[in-house]
């Protein structure tokens, strides 16, 4: 079986990481592939692995031998599932590989905002402590998380991990969730009756829901206006969950204290984003998923998915 990996670099910069596929037959690894190169590079492959490369209906029609598409991520919107189903092509993903890594990034952003770690490190490097009159100096609010309310949108694997970490900091957890009340009680989580209640009560709001038509711009100007001026928004989910212009406006006007985001609507932000210059907005380049451990799990599971398919017992099938 010939397998082609069209954009393997972000998951595994070393192509040898994919050696586990070579027992199944010819394996070709490309670091990156442009839309114009997809059909030519995947020609003759029975299995194709992709991360951000889109496999459209037109691509599938041009690859009659294609039988398997493995998505190197949890989200699989890069594949036209309807077209794949019609052609009998199996599509798989890699679920839950980055749960702890993403939850950890939530608190990396949150602690940087509440404790100013990056700010004070740079200030010390610039000599401000050396020249201080007192044994310490601080020019930002330093706040405790204990007793604050963590609002969570989406209580799946990652949202639940964030809830546990928040509780370890002494935070009260409030969530919008479809989980039964007895399950929420067992998790120590209070159900919010509506998004409006969640946004208005949260001291910190963290987004962990999938991107759908219903959740596109879930965080808009109307909901931001409900939030406390002291509140913090964290987005490690998907960029379009947030109306970036509305968030920038809330930050710049002081209607919202701070935001920490790991995802933007356009990635990389070649056209810019209003958040790039927004007041008190921390941005990281979509790296919450990319710890060494998470990427190892991703590659191992993706290889296992291909082997399972080759054995006639596909797993992690989507669609």
> How confident is the model at residue 218, as a pLDDT?
98
Full pLDDT tens readout for the chain, 319 residues = 999 999 999 999 999 999 999 999 999 999 999 999 999 999 999 999 999 999 999 999 999 999 999 999 999 999 999 999 999 999 999 999 999 999 999 999 999 999 999 999 999 999 999 999 999 999 999 999 999 999 999 999 999 999 999 999 999 999 999 999 999 999 999 999 999 999 999 999 999 999 999 999 999 999 999 999 999 999 999 999 999 999 999 999 999 999 999 999 999 999 999 999 999 999 999 999 999 999 999 999 999 999 999 999 999 999 8
Asked if residue 111 is part of any domain, the answer here is yes
Asked if residue 15 is part of any domain, the answer here is yes
Asked if residue 24 is part of any domain, the answer here is yes
Residue 121 and residue 238 in one domain: yes
Say which of 26, 58, 267, 293 is annotated catalytic. 267
> How confident is the model at residue 165, as a pLDDT?
98
Asked if residue 317 is part of any domain, the answer here is no
Residue 73 and residue 85 in one domain: yes
Residue 299 and residue 180 in one domain: no
Specify the number of domains making up the chain.
2
Residue 21 and residue 119 in one domain: no
Residue 262 and residue 301 in one domain: no
Residue 85 and residue 116 in one domain: no
Residue 125 and residue 243 in one domain: yes
Active site residue 208: no
Residue 166 and residue 91 in one domain: no
Active site residue 267: yes
Residue range(s) defining the domain that contains residue 261: 99-283
> How confident is the model at residue 161, as a pLDDT?
98
State pTM to two decimals: 0.93
> How confident is the model at residue 319, as a pLDDT?
82
Residue 219 and residue 301 in one domain: no
Asked if residue 205 is part of any domain, the answer here is yes
> How confident is the model at residue 7, as a pLDDT?
97
Asked if residue 262 is part of any domain, the answer here is yes
Residue 75 and residue 106 in one domain: no
Asked if residue 319 is part of any domain, the answer here is no
Those residues whose C-beta lies under 8 Å from the C-beta of residue 143, and which sit 6 or more positions away, are 114
Say which of 67, 191, 217, 286 is annotated catalytic. 286
Residue 113 and residue 76 in one domain: no
Residue 301 and residue 216 in one domain: no
> How confident is the model at residue 147, as a pLDDT?
98
Asked if residue 209 is part of any domain, the answer here is yes
Active site residue 223: no
Say which of 172, 201, 238, 297 is annotated catalytic. 238
- CATH code, domain with 61: 3.40.50.720
């Amino acid at each position: 079986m010939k397998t082609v990996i069209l954009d393997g670099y972000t998951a595994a910069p070393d192509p040898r990481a994919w050696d586990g596929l070579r027992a199944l037959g010819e394996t070709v690894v490309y670091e990156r592939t442009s839309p114009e190169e997809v059909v030519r590079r995947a020609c003759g492959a029975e299995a194709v692995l992709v991360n951000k490369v889109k496999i459209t209906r037109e691509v599938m029609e041009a690859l009659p031998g294609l039988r398997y598409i493995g998505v190197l991520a949890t989200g699989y919107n890069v594949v036209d599932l309807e077209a794949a189903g019609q052609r009998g092509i199996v599509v798989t993903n890699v679920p839950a590989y980055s749960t702890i890594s993403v939850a950890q990034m939530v608190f990396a952003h949150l602690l940087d905002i509440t404790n100013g770690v990056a700010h004070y490190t740079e200030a010390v490097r610039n000599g401000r402590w050396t020249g201080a009159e007192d044994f310490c100096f601080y020019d930002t609010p330093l706040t405790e998380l204990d007793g604050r309310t963590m609002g969570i949108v989406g209580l799946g694997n990652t949202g639940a991990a964030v809830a546990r970490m928040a509780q370890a900091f002494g935070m009260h957890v409030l969530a919008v969730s479809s989980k039964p009340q007895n399950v929420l009680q067992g998790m120590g989580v209070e159900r919010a009756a509506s998004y409006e209640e969640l946004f208005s009560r949260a001291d910190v709001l963290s987004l962990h829901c999938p991107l759908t038509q219903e959740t596109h711009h879930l965080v808009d100007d109307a909901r931001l206006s409900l939030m406390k001026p002291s509140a913090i928004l964290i987005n490690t989910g998907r960029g379009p969950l947030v109306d970036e212009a509305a968030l920038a406006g809330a930050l710049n006007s002081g209607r919202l204290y701070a935001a920490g985001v790991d995802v933007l609507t356009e990635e990389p932000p070649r056209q810019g984003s209003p958040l790039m210059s927004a007041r008190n907005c921390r941005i990281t380049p979509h790296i919450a998923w990319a710890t060494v451990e998470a990427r190892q799990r991703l590659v191992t599971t993706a290889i296992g998915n291909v082997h399972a398919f080759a054995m006639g017992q596909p797993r992690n099938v989507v669609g």
